C-alpha cells in the first residue's frame, strides 16, 4: 500500500526536514498512526497526497512513485477525513458529499447516486437532506467519513475520527472503520491520540516522533508475547495472605485493580489453577501477557531506538 525508502521532506530548501529518513513498508490493511502533536503526521499526509515533494529518497503510494508527475492523480485515489470540522455548514449532507465526489472526478449523475449510497453506508438516513449545521457530533463525523469514501478510494486517511464522540458513537465509528477495510477493501491509515481506538481496529502500527519513525510494523510483531508472563484475575478480591502467596507462582510485577501481572516460575498454566484451588480462590482470567500498546509507545519514544520491522 505504502512504501518509503529513506524519505526526506522539507517545507523549504533551507528549512530542516519535517520528515527524516522514513523507511517504511505497509501492507493493505488498517494502519494505526501514533505520535505526539507536531510529530509530522500532517506532513506525512501532505506527502501522500502529492502536495509536498520528497527532498531526498522516495517511495511509492498505491504503486505510484512520489514526486512523479502522475502523483497528483493519486489524490483521486485517496480519501481524507480531516480532524477538524471541515463541513459546508449551509449545505445538506447529501449536497456536500455529492460535491466532494464531483471534485474527485465523478460525473454529476454518478456523484449523486454515489452520495446516497455512501450516506446509507455510514448510517445517515433521513437527515441527509437537512443542513448539517443542526447535526450532532456523531452525525458530523459520519458526513466527514462519507465524504472521504464517496469516490471509492483505495486508501483513506482518517484523522481522529472518534474525536468528541461518546462511548456508543465511538464504538459505531470504529465498527465503520473496520467495515471500510473489511467490506470495501479500502486501506486505512488511522491517526489517533487514543491508544484504545488504535488497539481495537489497527493491524499495523507506525509511531512517529519529531519527523522520524520510532517503530513500525504489524501489531502482532510489535506487541510481543512476553514469555512466562500472565495476567491473573480472580472472582473475589484476594486477601492479604493470598496476595502474599502469589509469590509461590513466580514474581508479581504489577498489581492494579485486581489484575495481577505475574512472571511464572514454571510455564505450565495448570499450575496456576492448582495454586488457586489450594488457596481457595477462583480464577476468572488467565491470559498470556503481551506488550500493551502504551508500553510499545513509551518504549518507542524513549527506549532503545526500535528498528523498523515490516
Residue 136 grid coordinates? 450532532
Site size with another protein, rule: CB under 8 A: 86
Among 27, 266, 294, 309, binds another protein (CB under 8 A): 294
CB of 72 to another protein, least distance (A): 7
Among 62, 64, 88, 226, binds another protein (CB under 8 A): 88
- Interface with another protein includes 103 (CB under 8 A)? yes
Among 6, 16, 27, 90, binds another protein (CB under 8 A): 90
Among 16, 27, 63, 166, binds another protein (CB under 8 A): 166
Q: Which CB sits closer to another protein, 60 or 195?
A: 195
φ/ψ of 204, rounded to 5, equals: -135, 160
Binding mask 229-268 for another protein (x = CB under 8 A): ----x-x---------------------xx----------
Which residues, numbered 24-83, are part of the site for another protein (CB under 8 A)?
Answer: 34-37, 42, 45-46, 49, 51, 72-73, 75-78, 80, 82
Which residues, numbered 210-229, are part of the site for another protein (CB under 8 A)?
Answer: none
CB of 198 to another protein, least distance (A): 9
Residue 4 grid coordinates? 518509503
Among 284, 303, 307, 310, binds another protein (CB under 8 A): 284
φ/ψ of 254, rounded to 5, equals: -155, 140
Q: Which CB sits closer to another protein, 5 or 299?
A: 299
Q: Which CB sits closer to another protein, 22 or 39?
A: 39
Nearest to 290 by CA among 217, 216, 224: 224
Binding mask 106-145 for another protein (x = CB under 8 A): xxx-xx-xx--xx--x---------------x--------
Amino acid at each position: 500500500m505504502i512504501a518509503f525508502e529513506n524519505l526526506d521532506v522539507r517545507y523549504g530548501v533551507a528549512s530542516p526536514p519535517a520528515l527524516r529518513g522514513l523507511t517504511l513498508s505497509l501492507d493493505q490493511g488498517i494502519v494505526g498512526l501514533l505520535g505526539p502533536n507536531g510529530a509530522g503526521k500532517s506532513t506525512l499526509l501532505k506527502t501522500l497526497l502529492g502536495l509536498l515533494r520528497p527532498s531526498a529518497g522516495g517511495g511509492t503510494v498505491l504503486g505510484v512513485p512520489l514526486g512523479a508527475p502522475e502523483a497528483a492523480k493519486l489524490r483521486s485515489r485517496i480519501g481524507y477525513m480531516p480532524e477538524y470540522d471541515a463541513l459546508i455548514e449551509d449545505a445538506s449532507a447529501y449536497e456536500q458529499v455529492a460535491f466532494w465526489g464531483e471534485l474527485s472526478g465523478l460525473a454529476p449523475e454518478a456523484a449523486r447516486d454515489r452520495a446516497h449510497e455512501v450516506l446509507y453506508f455510514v448510517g445517515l438516513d433521513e437527515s441527509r437532506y437537512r443542513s448539517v449545521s443542526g447535526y450532532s457530533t456523531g452525525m458530523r463525523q459520519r458526513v466527514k467519513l462519507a465524504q472521504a469514501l464517496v469516490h471509492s478510494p483505495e486508501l483513506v486517511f482518517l484523522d481522529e475520527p472518534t474525536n468528541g464522540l461518546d462511548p456508543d458513537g465511538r464504538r459505531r465509528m470504529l465498527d465503520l472503520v473496520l467495515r471500510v477495510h473489511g467490506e470495501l477493501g479500502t486501506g486505512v491509515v488511522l491517526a489517533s491520540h487514543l491508544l484504545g481506538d488504535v488497539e481495537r481496529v489497527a493491524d499495523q502500527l507506525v509511531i512517529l516522533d519529531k519527523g522520524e519513525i520510532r517503530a513500525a510494523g504489524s501489531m502482532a510483531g510489535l506487541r510481543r508475547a512476553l514469555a512466562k508472563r500472565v495476567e491473573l484475575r480472580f472472582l473475589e478480591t484476594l486477601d492479604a495472605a493470598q496476595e502474599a502467596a502469589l509469590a509461590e507462582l513466580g514474581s508479581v510485577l504489577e498489581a492494579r485493580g485486581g489484575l495481577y501481572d505475574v512472571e511464572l516460575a514454571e510455564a505450565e498454566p495448570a499450575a496456576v489453577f492448582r495454586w488457586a484451588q489450594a488457596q481457595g480462590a477462583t480464577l476468572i482470567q488467565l491470559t498470556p501477557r503481551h506488550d500493551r500498546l502504551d508500553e510499545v509507545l513509551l518504549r518507542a519514544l524513549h527506549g532503545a531506538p526500535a528498528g523498523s520491522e515490516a
